[in-house]
Structure 1
Amino acid sequence: MENSRETGSTNDGDASPRNANYYDIDDILVEGELVPVVFYKSANGVKVDPSAEKDSVEEGAKVELPFWLAQELYLRQAVSLSIPTCFNQNTRREIQADAACVDLKSRCPYFYEFGCKIAPLVGDRTIGKMLLSTFQMRYKEILTKAHTTAYAPASKSLAVLTKEETSLHEAARSSMAAFKKWRIGGPRFQRASVLGRKRKSTE
């Protein structure tokens, strides 16, 4: 089947939401995340399993497909979607128990963005609430780690952060390092050049 990125408009001026992130490498990786689907009907010329002998999928077949393909088939009413395992009840229970320690990266490097993409398709409104509460619970810990490791190697605990959380951590870390550098080096304030000019007499 054709990649949805190949079927989009090739007009460079096309700024539609569908093509807004066409060349964004992170968005491409997000859409490569696997989604469980069930085929409503058989499909010929499709090979989702490299080890399969036939290039076809039987009606009722349960397989995992990249998000971009699963979304296209869903919009064509060819498959039904299920909630990916990274958003299942086990993950939610672990987050409720101790959100800061949950290894979200191993479950999905783009946990938040993928969740925002899949939620409206599977019709589960609780995913959005879960994403928000998860981020709120982990936010303070991310900033704390950023401030305490500004001049030290990243700790192993940072390995559990998602791509989005890592970007936030690095931004906070750089900000803190710049602030400390400002505090210990050079004058804090500089006299504006305009203040050094003599006022001309009007007489």
Structure 2
Amino acid sequence: MEDEYYSLASILADQHKLPCTFSLDVPGLGYLEGGSEEHLQSGTKVELPLWLARTLAQNEFATFTVPQPFTQRVRANLNASAPAVKLSSLVGAGGWWYRFGAAIAKIWDSGDSLLEMLLKAFTDRLPALEDLSAHHASMESTSIPEGTAGTGEAFREGMEADERELFAIGQESARMVKRWHDSSWAQR
């Protein structure tokens, strides 16, 4: 999950919006607010993509507030039961919750606490991810009959993009181990 210039995942993660407040008047950018004003006044609040908000915050042209996916409410939910939190609903389907959080932590004064939250959430969710990927690898089909989805399927639906990638890797690894195990028994 490192920041890579040519990584599509990093580019897409930088598209997540960050609530910003401009620290000074900015001529000619009133369209960012969506209104008819030609200029942005100091104190104007606008949601900007992370790639732009990062530059503005580093140059002290704007400040930002913690976005909804990383609020105290989300922290409390993660502390209560990390696997029960639908990270995909926090950043949109196919969104990068961990990458978005790590990028914010780099420019936020309280970034260390955010990084700790991300690490704790990941380590708390990893066993469920591993179990579910191994379970799906053992099935012929990964489709679940309608109305029978359990907590494992709810967890799978709530995975963010990096978790989905790890899920696919876990499935393939479990299938490879099964093939190896079956072939070693066949040779005996």
Counterpart of 2:148 in structure 1 is: none
Q: Give the C-alpha shift of residue 99 in structure 1.
A: 0.7
Q: Give the C-alpha shift of residue 49 in structure 1.
A: 2.9
Counterpart of 1:174 in structure 2 is: 172
Aligned 8 A contact 1:81 1:121 in 2: no
Amino acid in structure 2 at the alignment position of 1:119:
A
Question: Equivalent residue of 2:123, what SS?
Answer: helix
Q: Please, which runs of 5 or more residues in structure 2 have no aligned partner? A: 144-152
Cα distance in 2, alignment partners of residues 133 and 163 from structure 1: 17
Q: Which of 142, 156, 159 does residue 153 from structure 1 map onto?
A: 142
Amino acid in structure 2 at the alignment position of 1:118:
I
Cα distance in 2, alignment partners of residues 25 and 55 from structure 1: 34
Q: Where is the helix percentage greater, Structure 1 or Structure 2?
A: 2
Could you say which structure has the larger radius of gyration?
1
| Alignment size in residue pairs | 170
Moved more, 41-50 or 154-163: 154-163
Question: Equivalent residue of 1:185, what SS?
Answer: helix
Moved more, 108-117 or 138-147: 108-117
Counterpart of 1:53 in structure 2 is: 36
RMSD between aligned alpha carbons?
1.9
Q: Deviations over 1:142-175 (max 9, x none)?
A: 0000111112316353110111111111111100
Cα distance in 1, alignment partners of residues 101 and 157 from structure 2: 20
Q: TM-score, with normalisation over the residues of structure 2?
A: 0.83
Q: Please, which runs of 5 or more residues in structure 1 have no aligned partner? A: 1-16, 190-203
Question: Equivalent residue of 1:35, what SS?
Answer: strand
Counterpart of 1:111 in structure 2 is: 97
Higher relative contact order, chain-length normalized (CA < 8 Å, sep 6+)? 2
Counterpart of 1:195 in structure 2 is: none
Q: TM-score, with normalisation over the residues of structure 1?
A: 0.77
Q: Percent identity?
A: 25
Q: Which runs of 4+ in 1 moved over 2 A?
A: 20-23, 154-157, 185-189
